[in-house]
Amino acid sequence: MSIISLQTAVDALESGNLKLGVETLQSIVKTGTNASALYNLGICYERGIGVEKDRAK
C-alpha cells in the first residue's frame, strides 16, 4: 500500500468516516509492515474508534 492509502485512511478517520478509515488501515496492515498503519490501527482498537475496544489487538 502506498502513502496515499494511508493518508486516505487518516483523512477518513478525521472526517468521521470511521468504517472506511479502519477498513483501509486493516487492508494496509494485511499487505505488509507499515509502522504508521499499525500504530494508527492500534490506536483505533485501544480507543474503540470505528471498532470494538480490544487492547489485545
* pTM, 2 dp: 0.85
Is residue 57 a part of any domain in this protein?
no
Does 57 have pLDDT greater than 80? no
Amino acid letter for position 19: K
Cell numbers describing residue 10: 487518516
Is residue 13 a part of any domain in this protein?
yes
In terms of residue numbers, what domain contains 34? 3-47
Taking all residues of the chain, what is their mean pLDDT, rounded to a whole number? 91
> Which segments of 1-57 does DSSP mark as H helices, in order?
3-14, 18-31, 35-47
What is d(CA 41, CA 49) in angstroms, rounded to the nearest whole number?
Answer: 9
Is residue 10 a part of any domain in this protein?
yes
Q: Based on the structure, what is the number of domains in the chain?
A: 1
Is residue 56 a part of any domain in this protein?
no
pLDDT of amino acid 50: 94
pLDDT of amino acid 45: 94
Does 18 have pLDDT greater than 90? yes
| Span between the terminal Cα atoms of the chain, in Å | 21
